[in-house]
Amino acid sequence: MSSRERILGRVRRALADVPRGDETPPAPERPGRYPPYERAVTRDYLREHGDRTPAQTLDLLAGNLADYRAVVHRTDAGHLVEVVAGLLVSRGSSSVLVPPGLDESWLAGSDVRRIADRAENTPHELDRVDSVVTACAVAVAETGTIVLDGSPDQGRRRITLVPDHHICVVRAAQVVPSVPYALERLDPARPLTWISGPSATSDIELDRVEGVHGPRVMEVVLVD
């Protein structure tokens, strides 16, 4: 008998006391549509905490990002170019990683050397790049979280991991109030990275310290 059969057999015997039958739901057709299962769990928790206008939601995102030591810059579409250029200058970056589908105009104000995100780049090469600029898929106000999904304007997961400085541009329309709204917008088939502030650890005396393996400086440019 294979271990697969052995384990499944043990599970079925272990559950002999539980009434079975109709209750077992069929495989779902697609995420989120699963009536028999939806009835099995009481979901009377809140979709979001509090009642906010879109502007207040943006403020909350900015506040929560800053609370976990991300550096937040608020601007409008007209000034985005100079803000991004200014951040690269003040960081003293000489090179910047650019995902293939990034809006080219965002970097138009900067003459920093651009490095394309390509499959051939080795981790060691990425380690020599100073900064990375990306867009995002979704931002979550209640938790101060940016989610990347590997779309062309965000690039491979490793480009936002190895360089020490990450500039992420968030547009107002991408901001959702809470985790339930974020999951609804995201495609589970894509590799996702949820980022809430720069890399941190609580491993020394259970006290939070920023800056371990991921980018130690996380700058979020919030465009409204």
Match 């009642």 to its residue by tokens. Answer: 51
Cβ-based nearer residue to other proteins, 78 or 119: 119
One of 107, 131, 134, 142 touching other proteins (CB under 8 A): 142
Contact call for residue 191 and other proteins (CB under 8 A): yes
Which of the residues 106 through 125 are near other proteins (CB under 8 A)?
119, 123-124
13 contacts other proteins (rule: CB under 8 A): yes
Residues 6+ apart with CB under 8 A from 14: none
Question: What phi and psi values does residue 165 have, to the nearest 5 degrees?
Answer: -135, 115
Choose the binding region for other proteins from 45-53, 90-98, 107-115, 130-138 (rule: CB under 8 A).
45-53
Contact 214, 161 (CB under 8 A): yes
> Looking at beta carbons only, is 84 or 166 nearer to other proteins?
166
Does residue number 134 form part of the binding site for other proteins (CB under 8 A)?
no
Cα separation, 60 vs 76, in Å, equals 18
Q: At a CB cut-off of 8 Å and minimum separation 6, what does 138 contact?
A: 146, 147, 149, 174, 175, 176, 182, 185, 186
Nearer to other proteins, 29 or 104 (CB): 29
Residue 76 tokens read as 């409008």
Q: Which of residues 158-177 bind other proteins (CB under 8 A)?
A: 158, 161-162
Based on the shown chain and the rule CB under 8 A, indicate whether residue 99 belongs to the binding site for other proteins.
Answer: no
Q: Does the protein bind other proteins through residue 203 (CB under 8 A)? A: yes
∠ CA 165-167-173, rounded to 5°: 155
68-87 binders of other proteins (CB under 8 A): 68
Measured distance CA(69)–CA(218) in Å, rounded: 8
Whether the CB-CB separation of 153 and 39 falls below 8 Å is answered with: no
Per CB under 8 A, the list member of 22, 43, 51, 173 interacting with other proteins is 43
3-class secondary-structure state, position 4: helix
Q: Which stretch binds other proteins (CB under 8 A): 43-51, 89-97, 101-109, 169-177?
A: 43-51
Q: To the nearest whole angstrom, how small is the minimum distance from the Cβ of residue 58 to other proteins?
A: 17
If one asks whether residue 51 binds other proteins (CB under 8 A), the answer comes out as no
Task: Tell me if 42 contacts other proteins by CB under 8 A.
Answer: yes
Beta-ladder partners of 217: 165
| Contact residue for other proteins among 79, 114, 150, 171 (CB under 8 A) | 150
Helix, strand or coil, per DSSP, at residue 48: coil
Determine which residue in the list 77, 108, 116, 212 makes contact with other proteins, applying CB under 8 A.
212
